[in-house]
């Protein structure tokens, strides 16, 4: 258990309170959850600490932020993101780097260039290419950020991607050539844009067990020099989508597992990258798609063992890219299409008999006590995900417990990070499955 002990020591350094777990546990008996030590002992594996926005290490740290503000922001981001996803192919194909807005809950440190320059990026399972703001010459419009900005001129290994490199430039949607250099242009749903160049440089990370890990090959990423007030002023995105030139392909890795955990002593997170290792936990198949995103087959939702009357096709991904049930690291709360949310809402409130649910801070199903709360299960293909009380409800305004889900106002449904807390969630790209498992509890 040496690795587990090392991780426990590092976890103490994480500052508390994440938006996706914004609340103190609803029960005081939560075990001390840590990553499975076996994952961290595997040869060649990479487990990297994630930094929460409540830490001064995060570019999104706000010492004046209060809990209610973070909850409200998390819900608003989840709603806006689900509406964006509901627009389908005609918007998604324009979104080269990120689906905005995106939750700022966790960032990951990494280094770029020679000598190594440390920066951070937001993890996003719906983005493919990694990008960052660059202090290029000229920097037409670089957004303010607390952390230093990468200056390509300071790296002896930095290279622009030439248009002669047709394999790279043509593989990236939205890329085009100016003066022999591969450029990109991204337009988002809110009509904000990001412009820059496609570049390459050496990449590195700091693993929890093995320390600094440089990668031998050049990484392909976007260097933004003209960014029109992108939502939340992100310093950059770490693309974990399933596509060419994603962060996964750069490492390389064909599987990753993350854990966002909360217990009595600390709240933290980590992500692990690996290759060709057995599936850990209970797998459910992914839906093949051309968008580089992760869609699951949700066959239904059950309350206290009773399957709700929701047509299974309500969760099907359509040919135009609309609909479906996606698992997303950029959404704080789970969003359900109207038919599914209404069925769930109507069933859940029956357990409080004559009490009328309150509407609080955007949540539609809120009660003052939790004694009647029923068990809720998401029935995926080949696996039933039983949600814990902590993962189902969120304490709001100090007086209410609210169902930590909302209607998506579109035909897409999203499994948010609040519902994934204290679970090891694994993505196995070669096998085309996602797995869920409980981490070590001590």
Domain check: are 176 and 40 in the same one? yes
Domain check: are 143 and 292 in the same one? no
Q: Is residue 11 assigned to a domain?
A: no
Specify the CATH number for the domain of residue 73.
2.40.70.10
Quote the pLDDT of residue 233.
Answer: 64
Quick one: tokens of 442?
A: 């001590």
Cβ contacts of residue 412 below 8 Å, gap of 6+?
82, 85, 86, 322, 323, 324, 325, 326, 335, 337
Quote the pLDDT of residue 266.
Answer: 61
Q: Is residue 439 assigned to a domain?
A: no
Domain check: are 385 and 265 in the same one? no
Cβ contacts of residue 327 below 8 Å, gap of 6+?
125, 294, 295, 296, 414, 415, 420, 425, 434
Domain end position, chosen among 274, 308, 333? 274
Domain check: are 330 and 234 in the same one? no
Assess whether the previous peptide bond of 196 is cis (omega < 30° from 0): no
Quote the pLDDT of residue 263.
Answer: 61
Q: Is residue 416 assigned to a domain?
A: yes
Domain check: are 82 and 199 in the same one? yes
Phi/psi for 350 (5° steps) reads: -65, -25
Domain count, the chain: 2
Quote the pLDDT of residue 230.
Answer: 59
Total-model pTM? 0.85
CB-neighbour burial class of residue 129 (10 A; exposed 0-12, middle 13-18, buried 19+): buried
Domain check: are 114 and 73 in the same one? yes
Quote the pLDDT of residue 367.
Answer: 96
Q: In the Cβ-directed half-sphere of 340, how many Cα atoms lie within 13 Å?
A: 31
**Rounded-to-integer distance, Cα 296 and Cα 378, Å:** 11
Domain check: are 243 and 310 in the same one? no
Contact criterion met (CB below 8 Å) for 42 and 208: no
Quick one: tokens of 230?
A: 């992108």
Domain check: are 270 and 288 in the same one? no
Cβ contacts of residue 35 below 8 Å, gap of 6+?
4, 7, 47, 259, 261, 270, 272, 424, 439, 440
Domain check: are 303 and 257 in the same one? no
Q: Is residue 90 assigned to a domain?
A: yes
Domain check: are 240 and 322 in the same one? no
Chunked in runs of 10, what are the mean pLDDT values of the chain (442 residues)?
37 31 36 44 69 79 81 86 69 44 81 93 85 76 80 93 83 82 74 81 81 78 78 77 86 90 70 87 93 92 97 89 89 94 97 92 94 96 96 91 94 94 94 88 36
Q: What is the pLDDT of residues 411-426, one digit of tens each?
A: 999 999 999 989 999 9
Q: Is residue 441 assigned to a domain?
A: no
What SS3 class is residue 400? strand
Domain check: are 55 and 39 in the same one? yes
Quick one: tokens of 35?
A: 């990553």
Domain end position, chosen among 252, 274, 296? 274
Contact criterion met (CB below 8 Å) for 40 and 94: no
Domain check: are 374 and 346 in the same one? yes
What SS3 class is residue 346? helix
Q: Is residue 438 assigned to a domain?
A: no
Q: Is residue 440 assigned to a domain?
A: no
Show the domain range for 414. 282-433
Q: Which residues of 73-89 are buried (b: 16+ CB within 10 A; e: fewer)?
A: bbbebbbbbbebbbbbe
Residue the block writes with tokens 């949700």: 298
Domain end position, chosen among 274, 292, 311? 274
CA distances from 254 to 15, 294, 386, 403 (A): 30, 14, 27, 35
């Amino acid at each position: 258990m040496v690795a587990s002990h090392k991780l426990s020591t590092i976890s103490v350094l994480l500052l508390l309170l994440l938006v996706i777990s914004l609340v103190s546990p609803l029960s005081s008996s939560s075990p001390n959850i840590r990553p499975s030590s076996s994952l961290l002992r595997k040869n060649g594996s990479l487990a990297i600490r994630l930094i929460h926005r409540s830490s001064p290490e995060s570019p999104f740290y706000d010492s004046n932020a209060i809990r209610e503000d973070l909850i409200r922001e998390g819900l608003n981001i989840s709603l806006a993101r689900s509406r964006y996803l509901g627009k389908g192919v005609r918007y998604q194909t324009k979104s080269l780097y990120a689906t905005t807005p995106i939750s700022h809950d966790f960032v990951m440190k990494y280094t770029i260039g020679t000598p190594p320059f440390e920066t951070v990026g937001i993890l996003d399972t719906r983005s493919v290419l990694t990008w960052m703001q660059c202090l290029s010459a000229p920097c037409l419009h670089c957004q303010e950020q607390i952390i230093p900005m990468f200056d390509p001129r300071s790296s002896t290994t930095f290279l622009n991607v030439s248009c002669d490199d047709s394999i790279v430039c043509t593989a990236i949607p939205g890329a085009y050539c100016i003066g022999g250099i591969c450029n990109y242009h991204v337009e988002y749903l809110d009509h904000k844009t990001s412009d820059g160049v496609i570049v390459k440089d050496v990449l590195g990370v700091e693993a929890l067990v093995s320390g600094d890990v440089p990668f031998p090959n050049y990484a392909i990423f976007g260097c933004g020099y003209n960014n029109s007030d992108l939502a939340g002023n992100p310093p950059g995105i770490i693309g974990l989508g399933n596509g060419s030139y994603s962060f996964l392909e750069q490492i390389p890795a064909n599987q990753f597992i993350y854990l966002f955990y909360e217990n009595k002593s600390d709240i933290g997170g980590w992500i692990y990258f690996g290759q060709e290792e057995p599936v850990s936990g209970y797998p459910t198949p992914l839906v093949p798609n051309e968008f580089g995103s992760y869609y699951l087959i949700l066959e239904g939702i059950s309350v206290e063992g009773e399957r709700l009357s929701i047509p299974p096709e309500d969760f099907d991904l359509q040919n135009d890219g609309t609909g479906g049930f996606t698992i997303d690291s950029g959404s704080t709360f789970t969003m359900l299409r109207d038919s599914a949310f209404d069925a769930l809402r109507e069933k859940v409130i029956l357990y409080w008999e004559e009490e009328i649910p309150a509407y609080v801070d955007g949540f539609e199903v809120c009660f003052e006590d939790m004694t009647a709360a029923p068990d809720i299960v998401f029935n995926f293909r080949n696996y039933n995900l039983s949600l814990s009380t902590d993962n189902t409800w969120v304490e709001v305004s100090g007086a209410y417990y609210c169902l930590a889900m909302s209607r998506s106002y579109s035909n897409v449904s999203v499994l948010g990070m609040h519902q994934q807390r204290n679970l090891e969630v694994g993505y196995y790209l070669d096998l085309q499955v996602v797995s869920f498992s409980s981490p070590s509890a001590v």
